[in-house]
Amino acid sequence: MRPLPPFFRWLTVAALADWLITRTLTRSAIFMPKSPPVIAVYQALTVIGQLAFTLTALVALIVIGWIAFHEWPREPRAHRAFGIPIAWLSLLALNLVFLVIPPQGWLAVGHHLLVVAVVGMIGWRTWSGAEEIRKRIAWSLPALALVAGELYQLSQTLFEALRWPGPSPFATTIFNLGELFVVLSPVGLWWAYRRNVETRPGASLLLPATLPALAFTVAHLLNPALTAIIAIWSTGLTLYLPWPVYAVSLWLAGDVVVSLRRSAAPATGAMLLLAAGGYTPQLSTQVFLGLIALWLLALPFDARSVSAVPSSRGEAWPQLPSSNALPQTAVEAPKP
Amino acid sequence: MNKRSLLSFSLILALAAALTFFKVPLASSQGVTLVAAQVSGELPMTSPDSELWGKASAIEVPLSAQNVTKPMLLNTKVRSVTARALHNGSQLALLVEWADDTQNDEMVRVQDFRDAAAVQFPLAQGLPFFCMGQQGGNVNIWHWKADWQADIAARQDMETLYPNMDVNQYPFAEGALPAPADYTDPNYVPALAVGNLFAAAHQSPVEDLIAGGFGSLTSQPADGQNVQGYGVWENGKWRVIFSRALTSKEASDVAFAPGKVYSMAFAAWDGANGERNGQKSTSQWVSLQLAGAAPAARPAQRAAAPYDWTGLAFVFGPMVLVAVLILGFAGSVAMLAAWTKKK
């Protein structure tokens, strides 16, 4: 077993900075009074946010390239194993093409299909592997959310490419279904990763775990319309479900991230990347964050190996199997 | 973080800073494009049920409450509009549809607010602020109003709502039974005399406007009002058609040409929810592409001129640059790694 390269952690930090600064804080700033100090802070935050976004985009491309390299089969006869790295490389190449040719028409349809194909391939491997059923289900919920988001965008793109009179009759249903999967994802991840961990966060950690849910609840009760607007700007969620569902989901997500923050649980980094990517992401970088998160979640992990004592910093990310034949056969034996 | 990781991170951060500074995008997004299908013959400018609309692909454009300037209403009702577009080489027609439980087409009493929809187009290069434009970035706005539509059929006034009302006297009006229509002397109807659109009988339910930021919305002169419209409310849904000639003599009007791509944005008001003025739902910019070839003069010019390689360089140049940057970066990291290992 060897740790993941450090750029996975850099990606998470940069993506979180981009999400919280660019897509949440600076967008919320329009509701703040426009005094000169506030404007100066806002401008500084905008520059930091732009840098964080470029850093995220750059590191995401590096991570995609690294995953493709890592997944590349070392044995020439392993023809079937070439599918995933080729799909990752195609995504990388298509993203470079989109830098100069805007993604429209059939090119955009191809991109959406490729994303769905990558999710399908990782899913096939996850479901045909030896992981516990609850891990597979936990993986499937965010995967279904990502696929629903892609299908929602694909339906519109396809209608446009085919010059069909639209819009697609199923678009809204798919979108709402995807949002439901987003809300269920923390429940699944909590059930799969957090439930069996014997450690309980202390009082000092209870607050950070609860804070996002608490902040959301207070904001919603004070001003539901404003909360809905910031939620859609920040995460892409429309909040069409009853608000307590989102609050519970947010609390479970906070609990998983805080409780497993120093373990080798892929759920921690993956959940942060999924949150930073948002739902029905418009930018290719955000789609990459979702895909990388799903790839991380497909890595083997045993919750029982999580110790009450935080592990060393080098183990703060999931460990890779030494062979590059990924997860299905490489389930780590529980540590004593 | 060990020395090697620190070096790699510093290099990546420097590269990201350079890309940010030079505004080189590393992410792409698929914009929403409304394609105006090209048809022959007359456009269905007053017929939302026409089969011709079936030739146009519809897009659904999400709207959100205008929340930048006061007065704002954060819980607006119109969440999205569906848009289609057609053109016949000389005219453009847009069909905008949205769900609305109530038909509000009266603006007589102070408590009445109308249903309405608007589309806007930037007049300058680039994209000004999506909500009413900005200073130096004017926008041309076509504002369809349900009450103007109703006024064309039968002008509404207090008598319409209160048929049994009685007025003792209309000063300076002539006639045995004085009424507002009897005011014929322009000295007593100055707004009408100067061509105020709000005073005159409406020729079109669409007001043609120009804006350059909040508080700058201005009607175009009466003789410059060249946008037609037609709206129908049925089964909880408004269907509104905007139409205009592709070209316009006025500088404050957007001009269209087949084969070109423009930007446009939508806005909608639900009168039953008290929405008016800045209290509305707006969209971000979307693209409007007019199907068909660009004007005929251009291919001839192209054929006469030698092949222009600048376009190709423009397409592949940045791609090669980014590839070289990434390869250069990877090479630097590899060399640094080898150097650190040797040391």
Domain of residue B130, CATH code: 2.60.40.1190
- Angle (deg, nearest 10), helices A243-259 and A171-189: 40
In this structure, chain B runs to a length of 343
The structure tokens 């990502």 sit at A146
Domain end marker among B267, B284, B299:
B299
Q: What are phi and psi of A53, to 5 degrees?
A: -65, -45
Do B65 and B139 belong to one domain?
yes
Per DSSP, B38 falls in state: E
Q: Which chain A residue shows the shortest CA-CA distance from B57?
A: A165
From chain B, pick out residues whose CB is under 8 angstroms from the CB of A113: none
Give the pLDDT confidence score for residue B317 in this predicted structure.
Answer: 62
Structure tokens at A139: 């993986």
B145 and B216 co-located in one domain: yes
- Sites in chain A below the pLDDT cut of 50: 303-316, 322-336
Residues B283 and B242 both lie in one domain? yes
Contact yes or no for A55 and B65 at CB 8 A: no
Q: List all residues of chain A from 44 to 63 with a beta carbon under 8 Å from chain B.
A: 50-51, 53-55, 57-59, 61-62
At A309 the pLDDT is 35
Instruction: Answer yes or no: do B90 and B230 share one domain.
Output: yes
- What are A301's two structure tokens? 């992990």
Domain assignment of residue B105, yes or no = yes
pLDDT tens readout for residues A173-187 = 899 999 999 999 999
Gap between the Cα atoms of B176 and A238, Å rounded: 61
Question: Would you tell me which residues 239-268 of chain A have a C-beta closer than 8 angstroms to some C-beta of chain B?
Answer: none
B28 vs A167: CB contact, 8 Å cut-off? no
In this structure, the answer to whether residues B125 and B246 fall within a common structural domain is yes
Q: With 0-12 CB in 10 A as exposed, 13-18 as middle and 19+ as buried, what is A198?
A: exposed
Query: How far apart are the C-alpha atoms of A13 and A15, rounded to whole Å?
Result: 6
For this complex, say whether ipTM is above 0.85: no
Chain B touched by A232 (CB under 8 Å): yes
B64–A232 C-beta distance less than 8 A: yes
Name the closest residue on chain A to residue B65, using Cα atoms: A229
Give the model confidence (pLDDT) of A14-46 as tens digits.
Answer: 999 999 998 888 877 766 677 788 888 888 888
- Tell me the nearest-neighbour CA distance from B58 into chain A, angstroms: 5
Contact by Cβ (8 Å): B322, B24: yes
Which residues, listed in sequence order, are joined to residue B64 by a DSSP beta bridge? Answer: B282
- Give, as one character, the DSSP assignment of residue A197: -
Q: HEC string of A126-149? A: HHCCCCCHHHHHHHHHHHHHHHHH
What is the four-CA torsion angle of B9, B10, B12, B17, rounded to 10 degrees?
Answer: 140
Of B37, B67, B314, the CB nearest to A30: B67
Tell if the CB–CB gap between B19 and A160 is shorter than 8 Å.
no
Interface contact A222, partner B, CB < 8 A: no
- Cβ burial, residue A40 (10 Å; 0-12/13-18/19+): exposed
For B122-128, the CB contacts below 8 A with 24+ separation are: B122/B254, B122/B263, B122/B285, B123/B210, B123/B252, B123/B254, B127/B263, B127/B285
In 3D space, the residue among A81, A63, A83 whose CA is nearest the CA of residue A326 turns out to be A81
- A160 to B35: CB separation less than 8 angstroms, yes or no: yes
Residues B237 and B295 in one domain: yes
* Bridge pairing between strands B286-290 and B33-38: parallel
Q: Is A156 in the B-facing interface, judged by CB distances under 8 Å?
A: yes
Say if residues A223 and A257 touch (Cβ distance below 8 Å): no
Same domain (yes/no): B18, B53: no
Pairwise CA distance, residues B173 & B204, whole Å:
28
Tokens representing B319 are 């791609």
CB B205 within 8 A of CB B145: yes
Q: Look at residues A254, A274, A257, A266 and name the one whose alpha carbon lies nearest to residue A317.
A: A266
Distance between CA atoms of residues B64 and B60, nearest Å: 13
Q: Identify whether B316 is part of a domain.
A: yes
- What is the number of structural domains in chain B? 2
Closest-CA distance, B14 to chain A, in angstroms, reads 9
Q: Do B57 and A223 touch (CB under 8 A)?
A: no
Taking a C-beta distance cutoff of 8 angstroms, is the pair B185, B173 a contact? no
Of the partner residues B20, B33, B82, the one whose CB lies closest to the CB of residue A104: B33
Identify whether B76 is part of a domain.
Answer: yes
Examine residue B171 and state whether it is found in any structural domain, yes or no. no
Q: Do B20 and A54 touch (CB under 8 A)?
A: yes
Asked whether residue B333 falls in the same domain as residue B295, the answer is no
Q: What is the dihedral of CA B203, B206, B208, B214, to 10 degrees?
A: 140
* Sequence-separated contacts (24+) of A155-159 with Cβ below 8 Å: A156/B32, A156/B59, A156/B60, A157/A105, A157/A108, A157/A109, A157/A112, A157/B30, A158/A109, A159/B57, A159/B58
C-beta atoms of B318 and A53 within 8 A: no
* A55·B54 Cβ contact <8 A: no
User: Angle at which helices A243-259 and A203-222 pack, to 10 degrees?
Assistant: 160
In a domain, B91, yes or no: yes
Q: Are the beta carbons of A55 and B16 separated by less than 8 Å?
A: yes
Tell me if B190 is assigned to some domain.
Answer: no
- Measure in Å the smallest separation between the Cα of B75 and chain A Cα atoms: 6
Output DSSP code: residue A66: H
Closest CA to B74 of B283, B285, B280: B280
Same domain, B44 and B112: yes
Which residues in chain B belong to E strands, given as ranges?
A: 33-38, 59-62, 64-65, 80-87, 91-99, 116-122, 139-145, 206-211, 218-219, 228-234, 237-245, 261-269, 281-282, 286-290
**Which stretches of chain B score pLDDT less than 70?**
1, 170, 172-183, 293-323, 325-327, 329-330, 343
Is B33 close to A160, i.e. CB distance below 8 A?
A: yes
Residues B112, B11 within the same domain? no
User: Do residue B53 and residue A95 have CB atoms under 8 angstroms apart?
Assistant: no
Residues B336 and B232 in one domain: no
Distance between CA A289 and CA A60 in Å, rounded? Answer: 7
Write out chain B residues lying below 8 Å of A100, CB-based.
314-316, 318-319
Domain residues for the domain of B314 are: 3-23+306-342
Residue in A204, A18, A271 with CA at minimum distance from that of residue A263: A271
Q: Which two tokens stand for residue A127?
A: 């479901």
Question: Which of A50, A101, A224 has the CB atom closest to B315's CB atom?
Answer: A101
Shared-domain flag, residues B38 and B94: yes
